[in-house]
Amino acid sequence: MSPRPRAIGLTVFVATMLACVLVAASVIIGRATASAEPLPGTLSADAGFARDMQVHHDQAVQMSMIVRDRTDDPEVRLLAYDIATSQSQQSGQMFGWLASWGLSQASPEAPMTWMHRSPGGAGGHDAHVAVDPAEVPATMPGMASREDLDVLRELSGRDAERRFLELMIAHHEGGVEMAEAVLDRSSTPVVVDLAGSIVRAQRSEIGLMQDLLAARSGVTP
């Protein structure tokens, strides 16, 4: 089972770099033509989403690369390739947003804090409403544990496919939850557009993965 991981990794890297270049170009054009609309602040939902979803997407890419090395199944390998390339590209976009807004890639507060502020009122500015740290979960929605990834690396064939699909369904459900949360909290066009596309694409992929999992479990969907 040798899926040419170096070639796939290079493809993912190139997709990410291309996304960053396109974002930078759009920022330059936008700054030349845009009105003086305030940019999102460092504690805004926009910035929190951009930081946290990059981390979330990066794990999806990691799991996709693992399963491509553990199975020869064309359906699962194509799905994994699509997830790796699309989410690498989106991570590049979100990296570019933060750079164009003049914000650090590192958050000044715990991950997911933005998601536990009530929607409305903050817009793209800093949100100064305090959040009780006890209300913020230790992990992002749908994230696999280190132990989950270790197990996936040890499996092969149908066992690896089933575990990947189970983990990625949960991961996508968490990604949809995060995207819907920022849609409730943002009016920034690029954020709204990308979050909406994430919701649509990942819901569609969840349905596909449920079908693939059922076919590999002997269960009728």
Q: What is the pLDDT of residues 188-201, one digit of tens each?
A: 999 999 999 999 99
Which domains can be identified in the chain, with CATH numbers?
5-20+39-105+139-215 (1.20.1260.10)
Residue 55 token pair: 């981390």
Residue 142's contacts (CB-CB under 8 Å, 6 or more residues apart) are 56, 170, 171, 172, 173, 174, 175, 177
Q: Can you give the pLDDT at residue 107?
A: 92
Report the C-alpha gap between 27 and 32 in whole angstroms.
9
Contact yes or no for 182/191 (Cβ under 8 A): yes
pLDDT over threshold 70, residue 138: yes
Q: What is the pLDDT of residues 166-186, one digit of tens each?
A: 999 999 999 999 999 999 999
Q: Work out the pLDDT band at 20, boundaries 50, 70, 90.
A: low
Confidence category of residue 136, pLDDT binned at 50, 70, 90: confident
Question: How sure is the predictor about 217, in pLDDT bands with cuts at 50, 70 and 90?
Answer: confident
Q: Helix 157-183 vs helix 45-68: angle between axes, to the nearest 10 degrees?
A: 170
- 208 pLDDT higher than 70: yes
Chain centre to alpha carbon of residue 11? 18
- Answer for the pair 59, 142: CB distance below 8 angstroms, yes or no: no
Q: Are 117 and 83 in contact (CB under 8 A)?
A: no
- Local confidence band at 11 (pLDDT 50, 70, 90 cut-offs): low
| 89-98, 132-141, 150-159: least confident range | 132-141
